[in-house]
Amino acid sequence: MQRAEALTAANVNFVGHGGDTINGYQAVVDGDGPYPGVVVIHHLPGWDSPTKEITRTFAANGYNAICPNLYYREGPDVDPDDAAATARANGGVPDDRLVGDVGGAVEALRALPTSNGKVGVIGYCSGGRQAFLCGLTLPIDAVVDCYGAFVSGTAPEGFPLKVTPLIDRTEELRCPLLGLFGLDDQFPSPEQVDELEAALVAHEKTYEFHRYEGAAHAFFSPNRPSFRPESALDGWSRIFAWFTTYLNGSEG
């Protein structure tokens, strides 16, 4: 059947960490369903327009999607970049708050009348690490880590990190993981990606990694000089194949 690509997008409220009401940018498929869901975790610069475009892209391709505003508490009524600056000055989003807010978005997607009950999580940049964290902690069906820094690897000496590596918790991973990385990236470096892959192998996890030559960090971002069209196009095809397998199909 020909896909209509019709969607409805708007900011919505839902219950996040600690019972707090936060908001998110929701793009849902116009149709009867059932459709799987995808939570899109934005990068450190915040709940910005390019990430909302990604959210709409999922809806245009048959997924109900929500991008939670992870900086809602820093400023619900200010520009997203101002909220991001405040969040950054405070050291970023605590892991428990992140898990609670993404978990709320997962439940909001499952509660949609058109939901098929399956939800995946994808994150970019700092959101890549956070997506992996959600794969360890939340009842989700698939996860995609796009060049998330500090899942593995140790921070350089003197680096005042507010985040800790997660690799020692790889055994807890509870859903299939797709990882997309640039070989010219420094965080995560190719060695750190290899380290994570070794941990996934050791714990017999279902995963698939793709490494792109000539690509560094943020190669998916069309509004940045780091954009690499060939890598991004292949990456998008890998993402949809992954979600088709684990959110649309019988796997998982």
Partner 1 sequence: MCSYLTVGTDITGSAKGADGWFSVTSASVYFDHPYHAPFEHTLNIDFTDPTRGPGARVAVELSAESARELIRSIEAALHAAGTAAL
Q: Tally helices (H) and strands (E) across the chain.
A: 6, 8
Q: What count of other Cβ atoms lies within 10 Å of the Cβ of residue 214? A: 11
Q: From residue 71, give the alpha-carbon distance in Å to each of 86, 204, 211.
A: 8, 35, 30
State both tokens at 97. Answer: 């708050």
Nearer to partner 1 by C-beta: 60 or 85?
85
Nearer to partner 1 by C-beta: 44 or 167?
44
SS3 for 248? helix
Nearer to partner 1 by C-beta: 75 or 252?
75
Tell me how far, at minimum, the Cβ of 46 lies from partner 1, in Å.
7
Nearer to partner 1 by C-beta: 74 or 145?
74
Tell me how far, at minimum, the Cβ of 86 lies from partner 1, in Å.
4
Tell me how far, at minimum, the Cβ of 214 lies from partner 1, in Å.
14
CA proximity to 152, closest of 134, 165, 137: 165
- List interacting residues with partner 1 (CB under 8 A): 43-46, 48, 74-75, 78-79, 81-86, 88-89, 91-92, 125-126, 149, 159-163, 185-187, 216-218, 224-226
**DSSP for 189-245?**
-HHHHHHHHHHHHHTT--EEEEEETT--TTTT-TTSTT--HHHHHHHHHHHHHHHII
Nearer to partner 1 by C-beta: 17 or 43?
43
Tell me how far, at minimum, the Cβ of 108 lies from partner 1, in Å.
25
Question: Phi and psi dihedrals of 2, rounded to 5?
Answer: -70, 135
- Nearest-angstrom CA–CA distance, 162 and 193: 20
Tell me how far, at minimum, the Cβ of 149 lies from partner 1, in Å.
6
